[in-house]
Structure 1
Amino acid sequence: MGSVRKASAWLGLVEDNDERYYADEYAEYSEGAETADAWVTDPRVRVASESAQAESRRIATVSPTCFRDARNIGELFREGVPVIVNLTSLESGDAKRVVDFAAGLTFGLRGSIERVATRVFLLSPAHTQVVTGEPQGRPQDGFYNQS
């Protein structure tokens, strides 16, 4: 198996059918066993059903062109899908209306709204945890104790 094929198989882009690389201890899994714990390496990790995993993995990106497109944002968010709203193509008046709509939507469904960039917002449902790249113990007033 070539290195490109190995990388593609590791990424899940192609099926890994090369049986030479499986040791005898893994033979029970290479025969197509359909157990949920077959590929789990950490005993603390539990695999949910595929439909639940697919639901939790969905994130929608919406770039409305007018205020009428706010309905699509609301329908996705009501389904529990996190929505990234890109308002760069809207005029400022319509963008403010969409942000007001999104703020009311997140308040009513107990979610959260967060500004990601200029005129780009993330709407997160109540069951979704947003993790930032900021370290927890970093001082907020300076860089390495500098003011």
Structure 2
Amino acid sequence: MGSVRKASAWLGLVEDNDERYYDDEYAEGPQTGTGQAWVTDPRVQTASEAAEETGRRIATVTPDSFRDARAIGELFRDGVPVIVNLTTMDPTDAKRVVDFAAGLIFGLRGSIERVATRVFLLTPADTQVVTEAAGRPTDGFFNQS
């Protein structure tokens, strides 16, 4: 194959009939199966691999629409506590996500707690949330009386 023909084939102007450059073992396209790493949605933030190994992870999800509820469900189903920030959502879609979260916690025996306005914490059944009153001693360090 001449150099002009090679350049034309490289630019895609003509078909390249020279098969010697192709590797038969190379698989094109995305791989499927267990060898493929799970790609996380950029709006979902999880802890590092070390925290994952010890089982101490919390995910933060800021959905844009109801379609992002699947990421919340998958994380919660895997036993990861999820903080859902609904402040950027339309109120009707936010209500749908809260209804979805309520179904999740009912089905998987978890709990839901309001952290702030339109921010919720979903915790699996094996996770205990320590409230302010239970975690603070009565005569602690900051007692000004």
TM-score, normalised to structure 1's length? 0.55
Aligned to 1:110: 109
* 2:91 counterpart of 1:92: yes
In 2: Cα distance, 1:82 partner to 1:118 partner? 18
Between 1:88-97 and 1:129-138, the stretch displaced more is 129-138
In 2: Cα distance, 1:121 partner to 1:131 partner? 15
In 2: Cα distance, 1:86 partner to 1:73 partner? 11
Aligned to 1:59: 58
Aligned to 2:81: 82
Q: Output the aligned Cα RMSD.
A: 2.3
In 1: Cα distance, 2:104 partner to 2:122 partner? 9
**Runs of 5+ unmatched residues, structure 1:** 1-49, 139-147
Q: Deviations over 1:80-122 (max 9, x none)?
A: 0000000000010000000000000000000000100000000
- The structure having more radius of gyration, on CA atoms, is 2
TM-aligned CA distance change 1:96 to 1:55, over 3 Å:
farther
- Matched position secondary structure for 1:129: coil
Q: How many positions carry a matched residue from both structures?
A: 89
Q: Deviations over 1:37-93 (max 9, x none)?
A: xxxxxxxxxxxxx98973521100000000000000000000000000000000100
- What letter corresponds to residue 74 of structure 2 in structure 1? E
Identity of aligned residues (%): 73
- Matched position secondary structure for 1:130: coil
Shift of 1:132: 1.4
**Structure 1 runs (4+) greater than 2 angstroms displaced:** 50-56, 135-138
**Runs of 5+ unmatched residues, structure 2:** 1-48, 139-145
Q: Deviations over 1:2-57 (max 9, x none)?
A: xxxxxxxxxxxxxxxxxxxxxxxxxxxxxxxxxxxxxxxxxxxxxxxx98973521
- What letter corresponds to residue 106 of structure 2 in structure 1? F
Aligned to 2:12: none
In 1: Cα distance, 2:127 partner to 2:57 partner? 11
- What letter corresponds to residue 115 of structure 2 in structure 1? V
Shift of 1:131: 0.6
Contact 2:108–2:124 (8 Å) recurs in 1: yes
Aligned to 2:41: none
